[in-house]
Chains A and B, each alone.
Chain A
Amino acid sequence: MLIKFIIASIVYLGILIFLVRRTRLKEKTTSNYLLGGGNIGFVIGLFTTAATLFSAFTVVGMPDFFRTHGVGAWIFLAVSDTMMVYALLRVGEILRRKARKLDFKGMSGLMTMTYKTKLAGYVAFGGAVVFLIPYIAVQISGISIFLNAAFPDAIPVWAWSLIIVGIMIIYSETGGLRAIMYNDTLQGILLFVTIWIIGWNCIDHFGSIPAMFEKVASVKEELLSTPGPNGLFTAQFFIISAIAIISLPFTQPQISTRVVIMKSSKALRKMAIGLGVVAILVILPTMFMGMYGAVLYPDATTQEFIGQVLLYDQASGVAALGLIGLIAAAISTSDSQIFALGSELRSLLNVDDKKAISITRTFIMVFGLLALIFSIVSTEHLVLLARTSFTGTAMMGPMILVGILSGKKLSKLMPLATLFVLVVFILSKLGIVPGKIWILQTEIVLFSVLALAVVFEILVIRSTKAMNS
């Protein structure tokens, strides 16, 4: 398989190099380097957003989730993703209008302008760094460990990490966001084709979908209902996950940037609908893979199971494609996240454009290196932060949504409340604050605090201001 993997890697790298050459920028400005020229069409928009959204977690984590916790995993991700598409269409247009009006460079800068305080920008930027870097690091380390297990005699784990980060930084630095988006399109197609070939092979093993579920029922019937064999999929768990995922287009800068830079509202609408359909089509084969694992490898570790389903149970050509697909999934999400952190920093800088781009490019490398270092020395705390990355960034959702939706002057309440909630959330993940308050999970309590802050901001502070004026 090594030979086929090397051939597939050379073809993959060849296409990447071709795309980098096509998108190379001689003169780099905020508009062309960080915002891709601001005129992204429907097809590129759809694939880049999908590839950014569906990370290595989709290829590795989702089949394992289905295998371990059952069909409730569909509600956890697919249903939440389609809810997100609805929210994207309802709020995306308002975000684009605001972004045009306030010369959007990044969400942090937009928050500074809407709240008229740097605190809001710093909270948005700080939250993105704290939750995205561990997420990127864990993805890189996960893929590197997997590659090392597949080819134990090739190179050490850290060398795989270095190669992955190196590829990302080279094309991000050369062609900026446009290069990333073209590569995302390639990687998105690769991921889609690979995951369906493997998913199809899994159904083929049972003969049909009904036969697959019958077999799963005979092995462990609890997998076919909620809350699943380990009791994970409760209504509270689904609600927290749904809030986190619905907020993604506004709280994760790599996605909000793509919403803003779409060429037209028509392109955005088509992209959003396409994203909903793609979400269903990408998650469906991961369910087949998970059910296959539940029958054949119920007691295997995640790595053993993924190794079997992606590599050893497949023809060598498909296995090589599986590995490339896995790398593509990790790279296409991580590069966008690292680059988005750079854009967020740029949006907070008040210096001339050339200097700002130079600082931003340096920091894109710094963020890449940080992710590389963390991926090599990955600790338990880092994994915890990564695992809760979406929920952590979702805590910034109310502040960002109030900032986007409000046309009036806002107080500092939302940035302060968000800062407080983020600190408590991190402390709860570190075990310093309890994970449950009464019968409610701490996340639900913190979202309720933010909801109260929104009500207080809208009703009380505004009416007080109206009385004073």
Chain B
Amino acid sequence: MKIKRTTLLWVLDCLALLTFIATFTPLVIPENETAPFFMGLPYTMWMGLLVSIIFVVLAYFVSIVNKEGKNAD
């Protein structure tokens, strides 16, 4: 169980790190590019919104995985 939890946390950390790195590349912040628009939002805006949501979702998964673990209470 502990090994499974550690593996899951490792996977979540890797995903968070990859998203972190991608945020500072042209994938999220291409220079002077406004297209493609999504629901009327310019590219960097909707990609930024997506990255924010991804981090909240990843954090939610961490909180679920950590539920099982030893805590400070």
CB contacts (< 8 Å) of A221 on chain B: these are 34
Select which of B16, B44, B58, B59 is within 8 A of A75 by beta carbon: B44
Contact B73 A272 (CB under 8 A): no
CB contacts (< 8 Å) of B53 on chain A: these are 82, 280
CB contacts (< 8 Å) of A22 on chain B: these are none
Residue A302, interface by CB 8 Å: no
Complex: how many Å from CA A239 to CA B25?
A: 11
Interface residues of B in 10-59 (CB under 8 A from A): 13, 16, 20, 23-25, 28-34, 37, 39-45, 48-49, 51-53, 55-56, 58-59
CB contacts (< 8 Å) of B62 on chain A: these are 86, 89-90
Contact B72 A96 (CB under 8 A): yes
Residue B7, interface by CB 8 Å: no
CB contacts (< 8 Å) of B43 on chain A: these are 225
Complex: how many Å from CA A72 to CA B42?
A: 11
Residue-wise, chain A 210-236 has the 8 Å CB interface mask toward B (1 for contact) of 110110010001101111000001010
Interface residues of A in 24-77 (CB under 8 A from B): 71-72, 74-75
Select which of B24, B51, B52, B60 is within 8 A of A239 by beta carbon: B24
Contact A93 B55 (CB under 8 A): no
Contact B59 A85 (CB under 8 A): yes
Residue A209, interface by CB 8 Å: yes
Residue B6, interface by CB 8 Å: no
Total A residues in contact with B, Cβ cutoff 8 Å: 49
Q: How far is the CB of B73 from chain A (nearest CB, A)?
A: 5
Residue-wise, chain A 79-90 has the 8 Å CB interface mask toward B (1 for contact) of 101110110111
Contact B56 A82 (CB under 8 A): yes
Contact B66 A93 (CB under 8 A): yes
Contact A265 B42 (CB under 8 A): no
Name the residue of chain A whose CB is nearest to the CB of B34. A224
Q: How far is the CB of A231 from chain B (nearest CB, A)?
A: 10
Select which of B16, B20, B37, B59 is within 8 A of A276 by beta carbon: B59
Name the residue of chain A whose CB is nearest to the CB of B60. A273
Q: How far is the CB of A37 from chain B (nearest CB, A)?
A: 15
Q: Which of A83, A233, A242, A270 has the most CB of B within 10 A?
A: A83
Contact B24 A78 (CB under 8 A): no
CB contacts (< 8 Å) of B71 on chain A: these are 93, 96-97, 264-265
CB contacts (< 8 Å) of B66 on chain A: these are 89, 93, 265, 269
Complex: how many Å from CA A72 to CA B51?
A: 13
Chain A residues with a Cβ under 8 A of chain B: 71-72, 74-75, 78-79, 81-83, 85-86, 88-90, 93, 96-97, 99-100, 208-211, 213-214, 217, 221-222, 224-227, 233, 235, 238-239, 242, 264-266, 269-270, 272-273, 276-277, 279-280, 287
- Apart from A81-B52, A264-B71, A265-B73: 6 A-B pairs, beta carbons within 8 A: A71-B44, A82-B59, A214-B40, A225-B34, A270-B63, A280-B56
A-B contact pairs, 19 of them (CB 8 A): A72-B44, A74-B48, A75-B48, A79-B23, A82-B55, A82-B59, A85-B56, A89-B62, A93-B69, A210-B41, A217-B34, A217-B42, A221-B34, A224-B44, A225-B44, A265-B66, A265-B73, A269-B67, A280-B56
